[in-house]
């Protein structure tokens, strides 16, 4: 059975500093789900746990007291609304959520590709060239996969995100050229074994539509047995409008079926 576009597990609300949009609220989420026949959504505001040292000034206010203001989420007969977060991984390999705090969430997104937070997520040396960024892309994934975490409720966000080389598409493509299929296979074999979800981000799918080489990591991930979830990464309601088509493009291109779906229990 073809992979059904029935969920979105990466959604920001007005509580994320980069949204701050009163229109991006629980009701807007529900109407997006209903309009597109989705049965499960997960709220994933940016989060840095107060019991973990080393937050940047931007992350520090986005603690649990702040993001839990969205609770309780509305109950709906047709749509399961879940509570998650998108945390962070620093250049020193510190994860912005302690192991104990995973219990507070249905789902935790770990972004390894926020390369735009220069100095915080990556050092100046790591940002030097496509070659150093390619190495950072693989190393950061290994760093997470080597941790002792509840991987059944973890997703890897936007793996081919434009933030890897902001506004420099040629360099972004070159970065992925420099990561061999074998290297990707080593990473995704491990990810599949641990049960990590791989995100099909609507922005990434749209970008890959224009530059099909960017599908390479997802093709390898599928071959290695990884499971995929959909994420609009919406910060404002307009992203809800463009995401279902982008999801459909990615799902079709990768020829996914329901067995390839990451399920959140």
| Site for Zn ion, rule CB under 5 A | 86, 111, 157, 233
Report in angstroms the alpha-carbon separations of 256 from 130, 155, 193, 220.
Answer: 30, 18, 19, 13
Distance in Å, CB of 184 to Zn ion, minimum: 20
d(CA 183, CA 188): 9
Nearest residue (beta carbon) to Zn ion? 111
Backbone φ and ψ of 9, nearest 5°: -105, 15
Distance in Å, CB of 235 to Zn ion, minimum: 7
20, 66, 26: which is closest to 236 by C-alpha?
A: 20
Rank residues 38 and 161 by Cβ distance to Zn ion and give the closer one.
161
Distance in Å, CB of 114 to Zn ion, minimum: 6
Rank residues 8 and 233 by Cβ distance to Zn ion and give the closer one.
233
Peptide linkage before 72 cis (omega within 30 of 0): yes
With both helix axes pointing from N to C terminus, report the angle between 202-210 and 237-253 in degrees, rounded to the nearest 10: 60
Distance in Å, CB of 105 to Zn ion, minimum: 14
d(CA 54, CA 56): 6
Rank residues 111 and 250 by Cβ distance to Zn ion and give the closer one.
111
Rank residues 57 and 75 by Cβ distance to Zn ion and give the closer one.
57
Radius of gyration of the chain, Cα coordinates, nearest whole angstrom: 17
Rank residues 93 and 185 by Cβ distance to Zn ion and give the closer one.
93
H or E element that contains 183: helix 181-194
Distance in Å, CB of 157 to Zn ion, minimum: 5
């Amino acid at each position: 059975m073809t992979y059904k576009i029935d969920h979105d597990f990466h959604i920001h609300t007005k509580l994320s500093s980069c949204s701050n949009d009163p229109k991006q609220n629980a009701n807007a989420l529900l109407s997006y789900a209903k309009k597109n026949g989705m049965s499960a959504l997960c709220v994933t505001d940016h989060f840095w746990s107060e019991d973990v040292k080393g937050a940047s000034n931007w992350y520090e206010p986005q603690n649990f007291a702040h993001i839990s203001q969205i609770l309780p989420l509305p109950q709906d007969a047709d749509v399961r609304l879940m509570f998650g977060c998108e945390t962070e991984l620093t250049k020193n390999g510190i994860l912005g959520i302690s192991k104990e705090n995973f219990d507070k969430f249905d789902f935790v997104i770990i972004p390894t590709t926020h390369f735009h937070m220069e100095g915080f997520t990556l050092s100046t040396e790591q940002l030097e060239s496509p070659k150093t960024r390619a190495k950072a892309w693989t190393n950061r994934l290994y760093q997470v996969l080597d941790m002792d975490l509840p991987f059944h409720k973890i997703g890897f966000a936007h793996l081919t995100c434009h933030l890897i080389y902001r506004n420099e598409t040629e360099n972004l493509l070159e970065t992925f050229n420099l990561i061999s299929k074998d290297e990707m296979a080593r990473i995704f074999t491990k990810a599949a074994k641990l049960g990590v979800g791989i995100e099909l981000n609507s922005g990434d799918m749209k970008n890959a539509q224009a530059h099909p080489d960017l599908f390479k990591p997802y093709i390898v991930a599928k071959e290695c047995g990884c499971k995929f979830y959909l994420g609009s990464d919406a910060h404002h309601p307009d992203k809800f409008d463009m995401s279902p088509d982008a999801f459909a493009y990615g799902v079709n291109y990768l020829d996914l079926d329901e067995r390839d779906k990451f399920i959140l229990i």
